[in-house]
Structure 1
Amino acid sequence: MFKLDDTVGNIVTEFPGAAEILKNHRIDFCCGGDRKLKDAAREDLTDKVEAAEILAEINKNYSDKKDYYEEIDDPKNLSQSQLIEYIIDKHHAFLQQTLPQLSELTTKILRAHRKEHGQLLKEVHRLFSTLKMELEEHLIKEEEEIFPLIIECSQSEETAGSEKTLKGILELETEHDTAGEIIKKLREITDDYQLPQDACSSFELTYRLLEDLEADLFQHIHLENNILFARLNN
């Protein structure tokens, strides 16, 4: 069972089902994963829910699903090279498919709804375009530079990362923070992705894919910051 002094990153590492609970309460468990639950709740919560209530919800769900999570493959039990392969196959592949779709859709709905929702959709288009550029460069850096260094470290007798590897990880974590802030801003300006009454199917699809992107990116960053990178910082 978890405690208020446990970090949110470790809670999600031990119990992946906690991710959805924390996300529902707008608690950042990826970029802010090194914070204790009691501190993260105080800093992130905008509703009147207390940290103790969230903890109780997490512990109840954990008790109900503990056997299930012990039976399935758990990312924290993967080796460094296996975890990297998992991240690339699941999360990088998702971004490579979804980013072009959203690029087309954000442009399309800006053209179609410029008259009624121009200010909002210009900002959505601008933020997403910035996020897309950042993420595309980020994936290349991970796959071509930093991930090979991490695998090299894992195959050596050294448990800690080299200076070059740790510097690269620090850069990636900073980029994660940037992406996380853009995602939060998108949710804020869209009022939690509330569709206007005159929204067309493309408008609806855009918002749904942006929410899917947010959920996947939070899991993606969590696996890297709180498991993959954390092993080399110990």
Structure 2
Amino acid sequence: MTLRPALVNIKALDDSAVGRFWAEALGWSVAGEGSGATAAQPVGFDWLDPVGVCVDVVAVPEPKTTTKNRVHLDLATTSVAQQTELVTRLKALGAKPAHVGQGDVPWTVLADPEGNEFCVLEPREIYQDTGPIARVVVDCADPRAMARFWDEAMDWTLHEVTDDHAVWRSAKGVGPYLEFRRAPDVKSVPDRVHLDLVSDPDDDRAAEVARLGALGATDLDVGQGDVPWTCLVDPEGHEFCVLARS
């Protein structure tokens, strides 16, 4: 079992504009612009040997609906002053305030230029060494069930499982956390944001896909045609892809 999260895949009408936003937001560089897929990634990032994740924005013809995404990013800050400065800078880049029923909370909820929600967290000790992305958050109905599937599906280390959430981090102890968090919403539209996984060089992708199927994943046809990756959904319907290495 060697599958690891490599990309947070975001669909957008204008991948170049949204990719540039995320690169500026995270202090990363832009790659692949103009190809229909624009990546925002830290210097030296290798998606074939990922430690954390990068952001890959892919062009699609459909705009985002008003439905809240089931996957979003939480951004880390080191002080209240930095949180305030980051929110101001993100708004100048095109982010807008977003309202997802958060109420009076110490973090700020924003949306990127095409409406994809994300949060700028208040400083928390646990996220001081993650880099700009503190965690990737996935809404789910049953965190314990998701823990059973995803802990077998990938090689990140499971840190905590409760009725409210399940939390992983890279086995190397660096980069963002991945949290499946209990939420009341159910899936009503295709996922606008999803995870892409990659295996080690010596692994057989078909065998890995078959292993995921035995764990409860099912094939997903989104009209992708003949492509060098496999689209799947987990037992709760969260979309994800297993990437080919070439």
Could you state the TM-score of these two structures normalised by the residue count of structure 1? 0.27
Query: Greater Rg, structure 1 or structure 2?
Result: 1
Higher helix share: 1
| Greater RCO, 1 or 2 (C-alpha within 8 Å, sep 6+) | 1
Higher strand share: 2
Could you state the TM-score of these two structures normalised by the residue count of structure 2? 0.26
